Amino acid sequence: KKKIAVMTSGGDSPGMNGVVRAVVRTAIHLGCDAFAVYEGYEGLVRGGDYIKRMEWHDVRGWLSEGGTLIGTARCMAFYERPGRMTAAKNMVLHGIDALIICGGDGSLTGADKFRAEWPSLLEELVSKGELTKDQVAPYKHLNIVGIVGSIDNDLSGTDATVGCYSALARICEMVDYIEATASSHSRAFVIEVMGRHCGWLALLAGVASGADFIFIPERPQPQDWREDMGNVVTRHRSLGKRKTIVIVAEGARDKDGNKITPEDVRDLLADKTEDGLGLDTRITTLGHVQRGGTAVAYDRMLGTLQGVEAVHAVLEATPDTETCFIAINENKIVRKPLMEAVQDTKKVAAAVDAKDFEKAMSLRDAEFSD
């Protein structure tokens, strides 16, 4: 009987419980044993009770629960080979040779490294006398499949990550609340949303809430952004708008790479000098409300369909199969090479960090035209 484990890792995102539920139940349905690794890689390294056999009823009601019920953690030990070796030993002791990981690009990079090292980790465990040759014999290959769980929608190669539409819905709901009070008092609000390298949440929240102006990392502002934004807001106000909403992603910058903070934007909107806008302006940082709460229907559906596909991918894999992750492209659930997507994602982040915004933009454009 194949033993398949599922794990959530990195930052939590709404919909992860749907993934775990789908993996557990599909595995059982297809005649396999299902396991959950609690607390991400930390649980894999600690072993014992952190790796738990799951039954059908263990995941009952999980679709409508926020966060991840099997926990997630950052694990320093897993960055180092000895930590990964302990993790390999724990997997063999539990009889597990297939792992489905739902996490961000860091978690998926760690997973690929683990898979590549697997034979040498087992060899070393045998040579150190921690496991016997007979114990490791059935576990020649580690089978890994990734599912991207992230509220930022920041992985290349997939149209949506599990959790991003829930975070977007939450932001829009919060903007609606803010708009009511902004309109009443004729105020301006600067709303900071998550996204250090990827402005998807800010961009789509701007579209979905009809914001006056947005700031995202991939489209850095020219030096005269103050004038630009001032003109836009003045025009909207002159047309009778009683509220002003500006959305700023955490990673917003100008073309020189200087960070544009909500305070910079507020100071401009509130400037009471002759050239200023003189608006009564407040800042709202949405923070972790974007991450928490239950998953919207889309993320429940995405997590479920991808969880089912991940189990099929595990069962159909051969030793020569490239490690894949489950993506959604044009509404189709598909398998794609994992490391290519991770590397493409890192290239965009590196270009933004190196202030090479043209390159970042062209990489993102290429991704959208794929």
Write out the residues near ligand ATP by the rule CB under 6 A: 9-11, 41, 74-75, 78-79, 103-107, 109-110, 113, 150
From 152, 154, 254, 299, active-site residue = 152
Least distance (Å) between residue 95 CB and ligand ATP? 23
Q: Which is nearer to ligand ATP, 188 or 342 (CB)?
A: 342
Q: Which is nearer to ligand ATP, 113 or 336 (CB)?
A: 113
Residue nearest to ligand ATP (CB): 106
Q: Which is nearer to ligand ATP, 65 or 117 (CB)?
A: 117
Q: Distance between CA 64 and CA 312 in Å, rounded? A: 24
Beta strands in 115-170, from DSSP E residues, in sequence order: 143-148
Least distance (Å) between residue 189 CB and ligand ATP? 27
Q: Which is nearer to ligand ATP, 109 or 323 (CB)?
A: 109
Dihedral pair phi/psi, residue 211, rounded to 5°: -65, 160
Q: Which is nearer to ligand ATP, 30 or 73 (CB)?
A: 73
Contacts of 190 (CB under 8 A, 6+ apart): 246, 248, 262, 265, 266, 269, 281, 282, 283, 284
Secondary structure class of 181 (helix, strand, coil) = helix
Task: Give the Å distances, CA to CA, from 21 to 30, 61, 287.
Answer: 14, 9, 27
Least distance (Å) between residue 185 CB and ligand ATP? 36
Least distance (Å) between residue 137 CB and ligand ATP? 26
Least distance (Å) between residue 79 CB and ligand ATP? 5
Residue 152 bears catalytic tag: yes
Q: Distance between CA 119 and CA 136 in Å, rounded? A: 10
Contacts of 116 (CB under 8 A, 6+ apart): none
- Nearest Cα neighbor of 324 from 364, 66, 332, 312 is 312
Active site residues: 152
